[in-house]
């Protein structure tokens, strides 16, 4: 189950962005391999690397799209505004493998669902680049498929930049994160039952959840696709940065992948 959700996270991070209408086929499917390095959770001082088969799936429908942003349903779109239903995923962590969480319950995989409003500030068609503000608000659920728990909400506004040069899609986004107390508690609370002399009881609060910078690059060649991403989280000043489970004030995640396109639709 842990491998399945980390594979899902890798797929969402690495898959290519949707193209402008008419440039690429309606759908594409393929298979490749990807590598991912990530901390057990934001603020953990333990990092792990994974190597996985990487499914390559693209769907560029009028209302539903599956691309680098994950699975998204278009609710409204104009020249400057776009409202979508977006989905995101987070990896699990086994407490037995993490010294800071030893003896505590595992962190289950998380799924986040909610609306995303994108406001385009500028678009330069000649240089094929754009700036926008993205405002995603999502309800988060922790699940191992046998049960699920609603764990609050996340709000992650960001400044987003896109550029396409010589076949490469380059994207960068940066911004703060905010979350509910229940969401912070899921990752950083220490209840009295699990307190130790070196891990005192702790109850998180809602509010600022740190800031994030994400950079991605990918390119589709004739019969294969390559992509890479890097994500840096800064936790200084976060509502939970004094939790005994926070061992570092920063987190870094990165991944690379290559996939061969095995079939595609004739319809653009």
List the chain domain ranges. 2-264
d(CA 248, CA 262): 42
d(CA 218, CA 67): 12
Determine the longest span between alpha carbons in the chain, in angstroms. Answer: 64
Give the rounded distance of the alpha carbon of 227 from its chain centre: 15
> Radius of gyration (Cα) for the chain, nearest Å?
19
Confidence at residue 70, expressed as pLDDT on a 0 to 100 scale: 54
Give the rounded distance of the alpha carbon of 5 from its chain centre: 12
Q: Does domain 2-264 have CATH number 1.10.1760?
A: no
Confidence at residue 22, expressed as pLDDT on a 0 to 100 scale: 46
Tokens at 246, concatenated: 């926070």
Confidence at residue 36, expressed as pLDDT on a 0 to 100 scale: 92
Q: From first to last of the 268 residues of the chain, give the pLDDT tens digit.
A: 566 656 666 666 665 454 444 467 888 888 999 999 999 999 999 999 989 888 888 877 776 666 655 555 666 667 788 888 888 888 899 999 999 999 999 999 999 999 999 999 998 877 789 999 999 999 999 998 888 899 999 999 999 999 998 889 999 999 999 999 999 999 999 999 999 999 999 999 999 999 999 999 999 888 899 999 999 999 999 999 999 999 999 999 999 999 998 988 887 7
The predicted model scores a pTM of: 0.83
d(CA 230, CA 38): 10
> What is the DSSP code (8-state) at residue 3?
H
| Cβ–Cβ under 8 Å, residues 218 and 226 | yes
Confidence at residue 47, expressed as pLDDT on a 0 to 100 scale: 93
Q: Which residue spans within 180-249 are E strands per DSSP?
A: 207-220, 224-234
Residue 135 in 3-state DSSP?
A: strand
CA quadruple 118, 218, 66, 232: dihedral positive or negative? negative
């Amino acid at each position: 189950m842990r491998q399945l959700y980390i594979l899902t996270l890798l797929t969402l991070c690495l898959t290519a962005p949707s193209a402008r209408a008419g440039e690429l086929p309606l759908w594409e499917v393929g298979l490749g391999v990807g590598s991912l390095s990530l901390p057990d959770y934001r603020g953990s001082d333990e990092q792990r690397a994974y190597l996985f088969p990487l499914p390559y799936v693209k769907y560029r429908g009028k209302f539903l799209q599956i691309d680098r942003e994950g699975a998204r349903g278009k609710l409204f779109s104009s020249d400057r505004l776009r409202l979508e239903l977006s989905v995101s995923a987070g990896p699990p962590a086994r407490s037995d493998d993490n010294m800071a969480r030893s003896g505590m319950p595992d962190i289950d995989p998380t799924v986040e669902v909610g609306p995303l409003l994108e406001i385009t500030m500028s678009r330069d068609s000649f240089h094929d680049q754009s700036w926008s503000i993205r405002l995603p608000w999502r309800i988060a659920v922790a699940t191992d498929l046998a049960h699920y728990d609603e764990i609050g909400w996340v709000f992650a506004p960001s400044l987003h930049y896109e550029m396409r040069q010589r076949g490469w899609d380059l994207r960068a986004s940066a911004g703060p994160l905010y979350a509910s107390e229940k969401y912070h508690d899921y990752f950083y609370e220490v209840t009295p039952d699990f307190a130790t002399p070196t891990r005192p009881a702790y109850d998180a609060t809602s509010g600022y959840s740190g800031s994030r910078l994400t950079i991605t690059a990918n390119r589709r060649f004739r019969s294969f696709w390559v992509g890479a991403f890097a994500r840096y989280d800064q936790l200084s000043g976060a509502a939970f940065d004094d939790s005994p489970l926070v061992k570092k004030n920063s987190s870094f995640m990165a991944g690379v992948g290559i996939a061969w396109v095995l079939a595609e639709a004739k319809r653009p």
